[in-house]
Chains A and B, each alone.
Chain A
Amino acid sequence: MQRDDLTNRVTNQVMNRGLMRSTRVTRLTLLSLAGLLALSGCGGSETTVQDTNPNSAAWQWNLPAFFPVPRVPDSNPMTFEKVELGRHLFYDRRLSGNGTQACASCHQPSKAFTDGRALAVGSTGEVHPRNSQSLINVVYSPTLTWANPSLLTLEKQMEVPLFADHPVELGLTDANLPQVIGRLQADPIYAPLFQQAFPNDAQPFQVQNIIAAIASFQRSLISANSKFDRMQRQEAQLSASEKRGMDLFFGEKAECFHCHGSFNFNNQVVHAGSRFVETTFHNTGLYNLDGNGAYPTDNRGVFELTERLSDMGKFRAPSLRNVELTAPYNHDGSVATLEAVVANYAAGGRLITEGALAGDGRTNPHLDDLIVQIDLSQAEQADIVAFLKALTDDTIATNPRFANPFTSPAVQPAVTSPSAR
Chain B
Amino acid sequence: MPILLPALLFSPLSQAHQPVEQTAENRLQALVQLDIRRLNIDAATSANLPLAGIAPLRQDEWLYGRSGFGVRGRGTLYQQQFDAEASWAYSDQEQKLLADHIRLGWQMQPQLRLDLGRMNPLPAEQPAAWPVADLLMQGLLGDDHWHADGAMLQYGSTAQRLRLGAFRAPAYRGGQGQDAGQNISNVALWSLGANTTYQDINISAGLLHVPDLIRESTRDNSDVPLPHTHDTDISACGRSLTCVDGNANLVWLGSRWQPTESAFSVAGYAMWRQERGVLNGVNGLVDYQGDLYGGLVDVGYAWTDRLSTTLRAETLSIQHEIKGLNARVIARDAGLLDNDVTPKRFGVLFSYALPVMAQQRVTLNAAVIEDQTRPESELVSSVGLVWRAEPTLWPR
Binding site for B on A (CB under 8 A): 6, 9-10, 13-14, 17-18, 20-21, 25-26, 28-30, 32-33, 36-37, 39-52, 54, 65-69, 231-232, 246-247, 250-252, 257-258, 261, 263, 271-276
Contacts and interface: CB of A to CB of B under 8 A. Distances in A.
Contacts of A246: 224-225
A39 to B, nearest CB: 5
Given A21-B262, A33-B297, A67 B50 contact: no
A46 B199 CA distance: 40
B318 A45 contact: yes
A20 B323 CA distance: 56
A66 B329 contact: yes
B111 to A, nearest CB: 26
A29 B299 CA distance: 12
A-B residue pairs, 10 tightest by C-beta: A273-B284, A40-B295, A41-B293, A33-B268, A36-B270, A29-B257, A41-B317, A250-B225, A257-B227, A273-B326
B264 interface: yes
Nearest to B258: A29
B209 to A, nearest CB: 18
23 contacts: A9-B303, A10-B263, A18-B263, A29-B266, A40-B317, A41-B272, A41-B319, A45-B318, A47-B338, A48-B321, A49-B328, A49-B337, A68-B283, A232-B224, A246-B224, A247-B225, A250-B225, A258-B227, A273-B284, A273-B285, A273-B325, A273-B330, A276-B282
Interface in B244-272: 251, 253-255, 257, 259, 261-264, 266, 268-272
B243 interface: no
Contacts of B251: 39
Contact of A67 (B295, B329, B336): B329
Contacts, number: 177
Nearest to A46: B319
Interface of B: 50, 199-201, 203, 222-228, 238-239, 251, 253-255, 257, 259, 261-264, 266, 268-272, 282-285, 291, 293-295, 297, 303-304, 315-332, 336-343
Chain A contact residues: over half helix, strand or loop, or mixed? mixed
A52 B328 contact: no
Most buried by A among B272, B283, B304: B283
A22 to B, nearest CB: 9
A47 B224 CA distance: 21
B268 A42 contact: no
Contacts of A252: 228
Contacts of B255: 29, 32-33, 36
A25 B264 CA distance: 13
B317 A45 contact: yes
Given A25-B199, A275-B284, A43 B329 contact: no
Contact of A45 (B50, B268, B322): B50
B339 A65 contact: no
Contacts of B263: 10, 13-14, 17-18
A271 B336 CA distance: 21
Contact of B225 (A40, A67, A69, A251): A251
Contact of A37 (B270, B291, B323, B328): B270
B285 A69 contact: no
A28 B325 CA distance: 49
A276 B242 CA distance: 13
A56 to B, nearest CB: 14
Nearest to B281: A273
Given A18-B264, A50-B327, A68 B317 contact: no
B238 A275 contact: yes
A52 B326 CA distance: 7
B50 A47 contact: yes
A44 B329 contact: no
A153 B315 CA distance: 52
Contacts of A65: 328-329, 332, 337
Given A32-B203, A271-B326, A45 B341 contact: yes
Nearest to A262: B282
A369 to B, nearest CB: 11
Contacts of B228: 252
Given A33-B268, A52-B326, 9 more contacts: A9-B304, A14-B263, A18-B262, A18-B263, A36-B268, A36-B295, A37-B270, A45-B339, A246-B224
Contacts of B340: 45
B257 A37 contact: no
Contacts of A231: 223-224
A9 B239 CA distance: 66
A6 B303 contact: yes
Given A40-B293, A250-B227, A47 B331 contact: yes
A275 B266 contact: no
Contact of A32 (B226, B268, B295, B304): B268
A300 B14 CA distance: 75
A258 B227 CA distance: 8
A250 B270 CA distance: 40
A132 B264 CA distance: 78
Nearest to B336: A47
Contacts of B224: 231-232, 246, 250
A39 B317 contact: no
Nearest to B262: A18
Contacts of B225: 246-247, 250-251
A258 to B, nearest CB: 8
Nearest to A40: B295
A276 B297 CA distance: 48
B331 A49 contact: yes
A37 B322 contact: no
A67 B330 CA distance: 10
A29 B321 contact: no
Given A25-B201, A250-B224, A51 B327 contact: yes
A29 B325 CA distance: 47
A271 to B, nearest CB: 7
Contacts of B323: 49-50, 52
Contacts of A9: 303-304
A410 to B, nearest CB: 44
A39 B284 contact: no
Contacts of B337: 47, 49, 65
B318 to A, nearest CB: 4
A273 B322 contact: no
A23 to B, nearest CB: 12
A251 to B, nearest CB: 6
B330 to A, nearest CB: 8
A25 B200 contact: yes
